[in-house]
Amino acid sequence: MTESRPRIEELPYFEDSAALFLPWAERRWAVFLDSGFPHSRQGRYDIIAAEPSATLITRGNLTEIRQGGAISLSPDDPFELVKKALGETVLSHPDLPFCGGAIGYFGYDLARSLEKLPAIACDEENIPDMMVGIYDWAVVVDHQARRSWLVAQGRDPATAGRWPHLVHSFSQIQTIGWQLTGFSIIGEVEANMNRLVYGRAFRRIQHYIREGDCYQVNLAQRFCAWCQGNPWEAYEILRQMNPAPFSAYLNYPQVQILSSSPERFLKVDDGRVETKPIKGTRPRSPDPGEDQSRLRELQESLKDRAENLMIVDLLRNDIGKNCAPGSVHVPEMFAIESYATVHHLVSTVCGLLAPSHHSLDLLRGCFPGGSITGAPKIRAMEIIEELEPHRRGVYCGSISYIGFDGHMDSNIAIRTLVHSDHRIRFWAGGGIVADSDLEQEYQECYHKAAAMLTLLEHFKIRKFGEHVGG
């Protein structure tokens, strides 16, 4: 570990980081890790970064690495390649979560680099399994302290020359001259499963459970629509409609990721590990009395508690691969977290990262998250591949940052839309167990999809150009 210190300059604080990001929204490899503030008070830090000094793009068994004008291809483990690109670990800053490092997505199908899985589902995503940038500079906004900083590790020589421009750019809200191409949905949103197809998959999972293949399988359906224009406009509305503490907007070449995830996957802070699996959902009600009744129903549901416990046990084992022996514990079980459209049942699992282990070792050892596969994980993923018509791509993977200092925070990429090739897709699903009810599980998909379906309806164009959203 080196004692290299980051360069830090305080900036004016602005409550809405989305407005600060606007001038960068169309730049390739620009990223906005969004706590949902001010529309939600649950989050604290926002992170904005762009102009990565290196990029890593994994497709199948090969990762393309671009750095300093050079391009190379590697068949090596993608997680190890990101770790290598980060270089020697530096000391952390006591007051800032991120002072430069890796930011990007690790798609669900990156698991194929870790495990041998069948190839049955149709792969229509046509996007990389992993896209990660190595960012020398970033803007960190602390909404609790109401302060902002420009930070840089100084590993990219170009950062020093950019510094005055970056300070100027992020010291003001620039709205004039940044009119983006309007976003719109063309035609209907189509699901890849109707009730009949979903019912067949549901019954097949319950057959596997009765046969002892598995205890729980997460079954999801995909929603897709044709679209045009810049998806940043859609993200600005999404973060107002469905604010969430682990949201993100990634503007990558040929693909944009719009995430309003409520779920933390893995956090590492000075060696302290935390994961917060979600399992158990009820839809919100506009009637306060009914809303409280649904919350209590979730809290008291033996079925939902059993589902949650299965995943807690799975994650205890997963993080235990890279945590110090005896350090893994569960400080909180079955807490309620409430969001714009749903209540969730959430537990917390903690541990201490073992000496000489890196955050990326932990991410690799837990990937993909057990809360969105099922248990046991590998058998559940085989069943998902058999029964879901399309590959998941980014969905149920993770959007993460891993700092030069080894700090990491990551989400489970649920409530996440993917835009490419003039189409926008998202998924919604839930865990199926032995006593699951078909109709309830099918409806739960739509409860979880509610905010995203409403978002796309807002941007929908009817025949003759009439815009539904007004």
Residues serving a catalytic function are 263, 279
Q: What angle do CA 237, 283, 223 make, to 5 degrees?
A: 55
Q: What is the 3-state secondary structure (H, E, C) of 225-275?
A: EEEECCCHHHHHHHHHHCCCCEEEEEEECCEEEEEEECCEEEEEECCEEEE
Bridge partners (DSSP) of residue 429 are: 220
What backbone torsions phi and psi does residue 209 show, to the nearest 5 degrees? -65, -45
Please, is 277 exposed, middle or buried when counting C-beta atoms within 10 Å of its C-beta (0-12, 13-18, 19+)? buried
Q: Which residue in this structure is represented by tokens 């300093």?
A: 68
Please, is 304 exposed, middle or buried when counting C-beta atoms within 10 Å of its C-beta (0-12, 13-18, 19+)? buried
Question: Around 156, how many Cα atoms within 13 Å sit in the side-chain half-sphere?
Answer: 26
What backbone torsions phi and psi does residue 413 show, to the nearest 5 degrees? -80, 70
By the 8 A CB rule, do 37 and 22 touch? Answer: no
By the 8 A CB rule, do 284 and 340 touch? Answer: yes
Structure tokens at 412: 């489970």
Question: Around 410, how many Cα atoms within 13 Å sit in the side-chain half-sphere?
Answer: 37
Structure tokens at 264: 């933390």
How far apart CA 137 and CA 160 sit, in angstroms, is 10
Q: What angle do CA 337, 396, 139 make, to 5 degrees?
A: 75
Q: Which of 105, 125, 128 is nearest to 391 (CA)?
A: 125
Q: Which of 257, 261, 273, 253 is nearest to 318 (CA)?
A: 273
Whether the bond between 78 and the residue before it is cis, its omega within 30 degrees of 0, is: no
How far apart CA 168 and CA 368 sit, in angstroms, is 40
The three-state secondary structure class of 316 is helix
Q: Which of 410, 416, 446, 441 is nearest to 218 (CA)?
A: 441
